[in-house]
Amino acid sequence: MAQPFMPEIADGEWSYLFFNGKFSHSLLKKPAEGDFRVQHYHGGTISKVAASPEQIKSAGLYVEKFATDTLYARVDGIHRNGELYLMELELIEPYLFLNTAPEAFHNYYVALIEIIRKNGK
């Protein structure tokens, strides 16, 4: 996969986590000074940040369109001129950053139980 360089990456890459289509938590991954890679093993940092209702709605549109029947979805992107630019929609092997928000593990657990009950009928 090739992605064009977007200068906004210096401000960080947002991740919005959804479980069963419901927003759970968000975080911001920032590259190290002078780098563009946000991964921690390249010196990037990860911070829990509160997403605005508008940001959640924008990220949620990708979930509604492409991930309605998934246990989890991670919408990764940058913001340019107030608009979310999708970088990745992680549906099959994402890191869920459950350790970044106190409610994250519980939200994931509730979503998993809902799926089990739904499919157990």
What mean pLDDT is reported for the chain?
89
Q: Determine, yes or no, domain membership for 102.
A: yes
**Residue 99 belongs to some domain of the structure:** yes
Separation of alpha carbons 43 and 41, rounded Å: 5
Where residue 80 sits, what CATH number does that domain have?
3.30.470.20
Tally of domains in the chain: 1
Residue 13 resides in a domain = yes
- Write out the H or E segment, with its range, that includes residue 45: strand 45-48
Distance CA 42, CA 58 (A): 28
Residue 2 within a domain: no
Looking at mean pLDDT, say which of 27-41, 58-72, 93-107 comes out highest. Answer: 58-72
Instruction: Give the domain extent around 52.
Output: 7-119
pLDDT of residue 115: 85
pLDDT in tens, 100-111: 888 888 998 898
d(CA 57, CA 30): 22
Residue 63 has pLDDT above 90, yes or no: yes
Q: Give 117's contacts (C-beta < 8 A, 6+ positions apart).
A: none
pTM: 0.83
In a domain, 20, yes or no: yes
The verdict on residue 83 lying in a domain is yes
